[in-house]
Structure 1
Amino acid sequence: MTRAHLTYREPHGWTSPVECLPSREAAEFLRDATNALTPAAAERRTWSITTCDDENCGARR
């Protein structure tokens, strides 16, 4: 299974630290759960899910 990186950006330019997750499905689940718990934040955040190219990428897990 391919790992995935999840991050989000706030309108003022701040970007969250990258989270390296076990799969794209896990990244989508975390994004959706976060949006459900914080609807006001969900309206302003822009999410990004990308493929992790290296098992030892150094991103937070």
Structure 2
Amino acid sequence: MQSIHRPRATEQTRPIHRAKHWTARRSADLLSSALRGAAYATGAGLVGLAFYLIQQQL
């Protein structure tokens, strides 16, 4: 009689699964950090441009 249950993960596949999970989590963190940095840089650039334009008007 054959079992319908999947075999348990072996000791070799568990570290692979953990590594994939870790990599996916880190890539999401990296993307979030890059987007946050781009937003800060854009905001700083706009503020700098605004100050430059105000100085040109004075």
TM-score normalised to structure 1 length: 0.30
TM-score normalised to structure 2 length: 0.32
Of Structure 1 and Structure 2, the greater helix share is in: 2
Query: Larger C-alpha radius of gyration, 1 or 2?
Result: 2
Of Structure 1 and Structure 2, the greater strand share is in: 1
**Using CA pairs below 8 Å that are at least 6 residues apart, which structure has the higher relative contact order?**
1
